[in-house]
């Protein structure tokens, strides 16, 4: 019976994962990586955000929802909406993100991506671009005994928002060989250290959780589909 449970578990958890963090873009938890989703990937989901992880204007716990599409192999686009409270009630802060892959990973060289979050606002000035950031990031994956260690290093500019990418950031991830769809992660987002984990189940459902600043829980769920209908790992 135990062997049957193990076989079922390995069937459910047998697909590699490239996550969507709380920003709605491919990355570890709060930081981006230089990995790209496969061509034709569409993801949509929602996250719970504690007050500590958001810009200072969000002095309360909140949440967001997003959709993300990689419509050609080197371009990724995301739309994210974060719930915000005003004196007169509640509203949504809408933002867009874009990533461009400049270099694919090879045996010797890391992948390289440039991108940005909250790139446009319909309101004048930058004050309403709460999640604004521009960045360049490199990622290299190292395989050992069928485990995959990912190393990411980048630099970003997030303007006035201390919680955004401002300076050097980096992180590591580990995909254990026994459950390749699970990834353990640790990162420094130019502000604090965080740790977390993610898992992809039944090919499409993605679950994510983290301890931001090793103290505050954040997490979410997303659904991933492939528009070109080709089998993916």
- Pick the range with the lowest mean pLDDT from 78-82, 88-92, 227-231: 227-231
DSSP track, 78-128: EEEEEEEEETTEEEEEEEEEEEEEEE---SSS-EEEEEEES---SSSSSTT
| Predicted TM-score (pTM) of this structure | 0.85
DSSP 8-state code for residue 40: T
107-136 pLDDT tens trace: 999 999 999 988 876 555 546 678 888 999
CATH superfamily of 2-226: monomeric porin ompg (2.40.160.40)
pLDDT over threshold 80, residue 17: no
Other CB atoms closer than 10 Å to residue 31's CB: what's the count?
Answer: 25
Q: Are 69 and 77 in contact (CB under 8 A)?
A: yes
pLDDT at 10: 41
pLDDT over threshold 50, residue 141: yes
pLDDT over threshold 60, residue 15: no
- Pick the range with the lowest mean pLDDT from 3-17, 59-73, 86-100, 120-134: 3-17
Query: Residue 166's pLDDT band (boundaries 50, 70, 90)?
Result: confident
pLDDT at 188: 96
pLDDT at 233: 47
């Amino acid at each position: 019976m135990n062997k049957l449970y193990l076989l079922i578990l390995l069937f459910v958890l047998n697909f590699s994962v490239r996550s969507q963090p709380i920003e709605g873009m491919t990355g570890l938890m709060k930081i981006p990586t230089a990995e790209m989703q496969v061509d034709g990937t569409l993801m949509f989901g929602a996250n719970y955000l504690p007050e500590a992880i958001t810009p200072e204007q969000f002095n309360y716990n909140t949440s967001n929802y997003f959709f993300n599409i990689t419509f050609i192999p080197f371009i990724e686009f995301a739309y994210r909406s974060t719930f915000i409270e005003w004196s007169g009630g509640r509203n949504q802060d809408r933002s867009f993100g874009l990533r461009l892959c400049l270099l694919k990973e090879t045996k010797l060289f890391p992948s390289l991506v440039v991108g940005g979050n909250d790139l446009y606002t319909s309101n004048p000035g930058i004050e309403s671009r709460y999640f604004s950031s521009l960045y360049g990031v490199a990622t290299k994956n190292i395989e050992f005994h069928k485990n995959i260690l990912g190393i990411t290093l980048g630099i970003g500019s997030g303007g006035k928002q201390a919680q955004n990418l401002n300076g050097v950031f980096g992180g590591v991830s580990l995909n254990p060989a026994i459950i390749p769809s699970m990834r353990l992660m640790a990162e420094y987002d130019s502000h604090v250290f965080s740790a977390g984990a993610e898992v992809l189940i039944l090919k499409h459902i993605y679950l994510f959780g983290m301890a931001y600043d090793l103290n505050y829980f954040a997490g979410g769920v997303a659904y991933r589909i492939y528009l070109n209908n080709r089998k993916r790992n």
